[in-house]
Each structure stands twice: as C-alpha cells, then as structure tokens.
C-alpha cells in the first residue's frame, strides 16, 4: 500500500486545527488523528536530508505573498543576560525577535521557540559555536515571520495581531541545560539553557507578558521539546486567571530502535542529558522511577504536564525517519538511501517498516488520548515542523478535513 493511501480520504484545512488548538474547549476530546496525503510543491523541501544539528526552522519565505517590511523582524539581543550568566554555547548573548500585538490581540501572546537539534558531545557543541545554533554572532539580524507568527490575517487568522515572539535557540539542549556540568576543552562551552529561559521570561514580562490574558508557548522540533519541558513552568509564571496552553510542533521524539535494532535516539539523549546536566529541568518523579535520560522523551514528559498541551506532528516525520529510524550509520550498504530521502521511493518492505514506526507513535500517544485537557493533530505528511511555515499552517494547500473549517 502506498504511504499516501494510509491517509483517510478527508483533507484538513489547517484553520480547523487553529480552532481546535485555541478557541474550542480541549476538554471535549476533539481529537484529530488524520492521515493526510502529499501536496508535492509544498513538501518538496522535505526531500532535503537533515543532520542531528540541522535547523528545520530555517528562514524560508512564503510563496503566497510578496515579502513586506512587516514580515521582517529584527533580532534583539538580551543585554542583561550576561549579568546572570545566561549565555549561548560560546558565551555570546541570547536573542529573540518580537512583534507587538494590537487591537483584540494586544493582551495575547504566542512564543515560538525555533528548532535545530542538540549537541551531545564536546566536539559537536564546538561545531555549533560556529553557527547560529550556538552563537548570536551568527544569528540572522532579520527573520521572516510566517506561519503561526505571520502578521497577515489571511495567513494567520487566530494569532496575526497577538504579541508574537520567536526565540532563537543557541544552547544545544532545548533551553534546559545547567552550568553544573560545564566542561573545558581548549575553549569554554557554556551550558546555560535554563538560565536563558529564565532571562527571556523576565524580559518578556517587562514587555507586557505580565499583562497577558492568554498565552501560548510553542516550538518546532527541539524547540517543541523545550515547550514541553517548560510548559508547566510557563503556566506557573502567569496568574491563574490567564489562559495558558502549550504546542509542541514536531517535538514528540520517539524512544524507538532503528532498523538494525540499535537504540540510537536513547543513546543520543543519554549523552545530551549527561553533557548538559538536564536533571534539574526534568520532572523529579520521572527521574526517581526511570533511567534519567528516558525522562527527556516526550512520552514521559507529557505524563506529568498539568497545563493543556496540543501536539502537532507527522507520523512520517522525515527528521525522525532519517535520524531515529534510519540513521546513516545504521545503513552501511545504502539500502535505505533513496527511501529515507523521499518515501515515494520506498519499496513494499520499507513502507511496512515505516508503517510500523507510525504505529509506534500512535501507541506512545495512547495514554495521552485519555487526557481530557489535551489534543493532537497527527498527519502523514513527509515533513518536519508544520506551524512555522505558511504553506502548512494556513494556505490553499494546507490540510483539510471534509473540506470544512471548524
């Protein structure tokens, strides 16, 4: 069976997802586990191979409107961060991009944390120091606000006039690292993700987050994992009468063995956990019950989150296929080479293995479905991260269900 035939016959307008995500009551079990076919020109970018340190949240412009000045948002460095030791891997200042809300959105906030993998060794962290994922010296001074951050009502009807923040990701551990385990190897590396998070929150409160009536913490990939890790902490910073929810976009990483039965992702997360000293940022009950690195997997994290969470994810997330299920080191004879880059090239045996990975995802989410305050949208698109890009957030080609918008 072709992968696209796994889809239900219905197509979903992503606007329906918006409504479910925010304006409907998540307590009514409005679950949408929808498998959606491919829109070829939209997902052509999915054919690019990503590495552990890749940045799925790159600055691709929308094909649906001419870029204007309102789309381009300047980088702001957190100048008071040095005082509290909240610095990127190389010791430079962390940064963010901010557009102030207006009208009915003046007291509403959406914070979106960019993705970009993790570093699990001294060597890989040193490599990240030379790019924007580890240093503000290499961050783009202006970025396009598209998708969930777009200022255009036609492309982002629910959030276009909210206070919108894109958080630059430069610590290599989903904004969760602690300096306790900082190491030296010729030049110093700073593992300060938790401190960066705290400094950012202080800054956003000074910009008006303290007056918010509703707030959404979201993120893509490693940023989606960060949104899960900090979800309840974010909720706790705001008054009880504020509506707070969290969105993990492509942030539900599976603890699954690869095609040659190696627990590649578990080993990788174990190294990240040790190197960055993540123990203090993860739930203490999980740490007490499990091998600590397991507590970095979203399946365990969501068990302890009290704040409403929405998961936006693909059952055939190409980053996970290329790095968890079929990492290059587990395919020495290149049997999977064409398939892992484009699942239209997979043979029947390979498709069955990919379907097994999908089943593992749905099994991992089975308990979460009992959470009356949560929700999910699981597609079958060969893509990684869907909220940050207009083409998959709100566009004529975005997924629909029964050609209806809820």
Distance of CA 123 to the CA centre of its chain: 24
CA distances from 135 to 26, 68, 210, 241, 337 (A): 38, 27, 28, 37, 32
Known catalytic residue: 317?
yes
Token pair listed for 116: 């970009």
Q: Strand, helix or coil at 152? A: coil
Counting every residue written for the chain, the total comes to: 406
The full DSSP string for 183-212 is -EESEE----HHHHHHHHHHHHHHHTGGG-
Nearest-angstrom CA–CA distance, 357 and 11: 22
Nearest-angstrom CA–CA distance, 260 and 112: 35
Nearest-angstrom CA–CA distance, 257 and 398: 32
Known catalytic residue: 171?
no
Q: Is 29 left (phi over 0), alpha (psi -120 to 50) or beta?
A: left
> Annotated catalytic residue: which of 55, 58, 317, 394?
317
Dihedral of CA atoms 235, 238, 244, 247 in degrees, nearest 10, equals: -50
Token pair listed for 165: 């923040």
Known catalytic residue: 221?
yes
Range 337-359 burial, b when 16+ CB lie within 10 A, else e? eebbbebeebeeebbeebbebbe
Backbone angles phi, psi at 241, to 5 degrees: -80, 0
> Annotated catalytic residue: which of 152, 276, 313, 384?
384
Q: What Rg value do the Cα atoms of the chain yield, rounded?
A: 20
Nearest-angstrom CA–CA distance, 246 and 374: 10
> Annotated catalytic residue: which of 54, 136, 150, 221?
221
**Residue 399 in contact with residue 13, Cβ under 8 Å?**
yes
Residues that are catalytic: 221, 317, 384
């Amino acid at each position: 069976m072709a992968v696209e035939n796994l889809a239900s016959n219905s197509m979903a307008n992503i606007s329906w997802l918006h409504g479910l995500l925010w304006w409907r009551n998540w307590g009514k079990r409005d679950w949408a586990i929808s498998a959606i076919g491919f829109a070829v020109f939209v997902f052509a970018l999915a054919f690019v191979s990503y590495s552990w340190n890749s940045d799925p949240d790159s600055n691709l412009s929308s094909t649906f409107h001419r870029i204007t000045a309102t789309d381009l948002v300047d980088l702001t460095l957190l100048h008071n961060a040095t005082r509290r030791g909240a610095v990127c891997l190389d010791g430079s200042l962390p940064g963010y991009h901010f557009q102030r809300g207006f009208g009915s959105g003046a007291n509403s906030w959406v914070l979106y944390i960019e993705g970009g993998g993790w570093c699990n060794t001294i060597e890989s962290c040193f490599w990240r120091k030379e790019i924007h994922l580890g240093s503000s010296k290499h961050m783009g001074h202006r970025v396009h606000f598209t998708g969930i951050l777009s200022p255009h009502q036609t492309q982002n009807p629910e959030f276009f006039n909210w206070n919108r923040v894109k958080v630059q990701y430069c610590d290599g551990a989903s904004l969760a690292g602690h300096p306790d385990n900082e190491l030296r190897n010729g030049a110093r590396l700073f593992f300060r993700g938790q401190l960066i998070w705290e400094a950012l929150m202080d800054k956003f409160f000074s910009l008006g987050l303290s007056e918010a009536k509703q707030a959404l913490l979201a993120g893509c990939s490693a940023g989606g994992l960060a949104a899960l890790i900090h979800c309840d902490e974010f909720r706790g910073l705001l008054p009880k009468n504020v509506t707070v929810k969290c969105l993990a976009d492509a942030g539900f990483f599976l603890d699954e063995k690869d095609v040659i039965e190696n627990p590649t992702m578990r080993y990788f997360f174990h190294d990240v956990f040790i190197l960055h000293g993540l123990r203090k940022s993860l739930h203490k009950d999980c740490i007490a019950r499990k091998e600590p690195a397991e507590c970095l997997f979203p399946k365990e994290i969501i068990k302890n989150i009290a704040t409403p969470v929405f998961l936006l994810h693909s059952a055939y997330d190409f980053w996970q296929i290329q790095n968890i299920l079929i990492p290059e080191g587990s395919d020495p004879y290149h049997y999977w080479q064409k398939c892992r880059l484009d699942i239209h090239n997979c043979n029947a045996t390979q498709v069955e293995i990919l379907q097994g990975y999908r089943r593992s995802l749905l099994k991992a989410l089975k308990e979460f479905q009992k959470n009356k305050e949560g929700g999910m949208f699981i597609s079958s698109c060969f893509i990684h991260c869907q909220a940050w890009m207009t083409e998959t957030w709100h566009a004529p080609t975005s997924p629909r269900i029964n050609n209806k918008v809820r």
